[in-house]
Amino acid sequence: MTHTEHASAGPAALPSDLDEAVHRCLVAGFDGTTTVPDTLKRLIDRGLGGVILFTRNVRDAEQVRELTDALRAIRPDLLVGIDNEGGGIGHLVSADAPEVPGSFALGVVDDTELTARCADALAGHLASLGITASYAPVADLQHQPRNPIVRTRSFGADPELVSRHLRAWITATQARGVASCAKHFPGHGGTVTDSHHDVAVDPRAYDELDLAPFRAAIAAGVPMLMSAHVVFPALDPDRPATLSPRILSGLLRDELGFDGVLVSDALEMKAIADRYGEAAGARLALAAGADQVIVAVPDLAVTVGCRDAVLDAVGSGALSVERVREAADRARRLAERYAAPARRGAVAGWDAGAGLEGARRAVRVPAAPVRGAHVVDLFPPPHPALNWGGEDLLTEVRALDPTATGTVVTDAPADAAGLVTEILRRAEGVPLVVATCDAGLHPWQSVLRDALLARRPDAVRVSTGLPDGGDVCSYGRGRVNLRAVAEVLVGV
């Protein structure tokens, strides 16, 4: 069901201050790199709480700064945010973003000072672009082997380790004047479903849930938390956390004592959009205790539909005025602290080498150099909401060893046996490297890998996701992760 099926014929007319309060509860995505759409201008004029940028809004660093300046010229207290976890999530690659590994590699290294340096580099770069809100870090624990969405975005499975790296990341980000956001409350790591595609369920008992990292983030002063589109039967069997008063108001506010801004994950994700519709999702999330809802799609009609549904709910009394004002007040306090960007040229430099250092230190199992190898890199296509790079190991190896050859495969081949035969023909007489990325989630990778190893047991095995029995593991597919593995393989 879409937002148009849930929205009423027209929005209710509210007093101007209440209309502004409703708009403060919205964060919108949009299309464009240099021009602000008229619909977005009207939303900002009426008090829109924030915008979220994606790869579609980025051409280069100067263009991004001009865009953020243009947005704030409409309304200075507009919060400009972006997903900025590092690793394979690279919305700002073309804007010269610092390259850092995903969080799991930093957890493997377990050096909180290094984590802080990586977070500082990302936050410093954001500040230089006029972006003052980062929807990171991930506070989820990665302990469910079949989890398809958290994985190397998490610092690890140990709550103590994850908590100390969260503290380091949050503290470093805040020091740059950038708002951090721990996500996805109360944890997405215990699921086997990606909430981008369907409702995810964590079936564990209450005392088994992953609350410790969120407690640590709150204690560290994180100004924002993001909710998960996950159903927790032990907490609320009927609604995902984003729409659950028991979880957002009862657990997070009353039990954990969080008084910062609670923002929803994107409402167009199918866990919400397919079952409730984006517009109803916005109304229900705010009623449950969210302060801001993200509508990340560039089609601003979806955002307007969500806005109209909330206006109607307030006008009819279905959504209390007090709840909206409370949410808007939190959003306003956040903007007062973080909306104003640093002056151009006033941002101190950062350690551009911290990310590669972290990636190198995470590769803990060295292999003998294999120059002139044939490199087979098997990995799924980039997640449309997360990974916009699609970097491959072969490119990084060839940058160091031009004599290397290779084969890159990003989906199940039509003729697996024929592909194996062709790879073995091309690799005859030279070393063979076989790299997989989370092969347990993608059986076609296991089929190809096992067939190759059966005929070339001497092949070097590489894991570029979580460990998968390889000789070398990068713990992520960010460019610096792959570069660090390439250095080990080539011997530089």
Q: Which residues contact 318 (CB under 8 A, 6 or more apart)?
A: 283, 287, 312
Q: If DSSP states are collapsed to H, E and C, what string results for the chain?
A: CCHHHHCCCCCCCCCHHHHHHHHHCEEECCCCCCCCCHHHHHHHHCCCCEEEECHHHCCCHHHHHHHHHHHHHHCCCCEEEECCCECCECCCHHHCCCCCCCHHHHHHHCCHHHHHHHHHHHHHHHHHHCCCEECCCECCCCCCCCCCCCHHHCCCCCHHHHHHHHHHHHHHHHHCCCEEEEEEECCCCCCCCCCCCCCEECCCCHHHCCCHHHHHHHHCCCCEEEECCEEECCCEEEEEHHHCHHHHHHHHHHHCCCCCEEECCCCCCHHHHCCCCHHHHHHHHHHHCCCEEEECCCCHHHHHHHHHHHHHHHHHCCCCHHHHHHHHHHHHHHHHHHCCCCCCCCCCCCCCCHHHHHHHHHCCCCCCCCCCCEEEEECCCCCCCCCCCCCCHHHHHHHHCCCCEEEEECCCCCCHHHHHHHHHHHCCCCCEEEEECCHHHCHHHHHHHHHHHHHCCCCEEEECCCCCCCCEECCCCCHHHHHHHHHHHHCC
196 as an active site residue: the answer is: yes
Catalytic residue, from 6, 23, 91, 196: name it. Answer: 196
Catalytic residue, from 236, 265, 312, 392: name it. Answer: 265
194 as an active site residue: the answer is: no
| Catalytic residue annotation | 196, 265
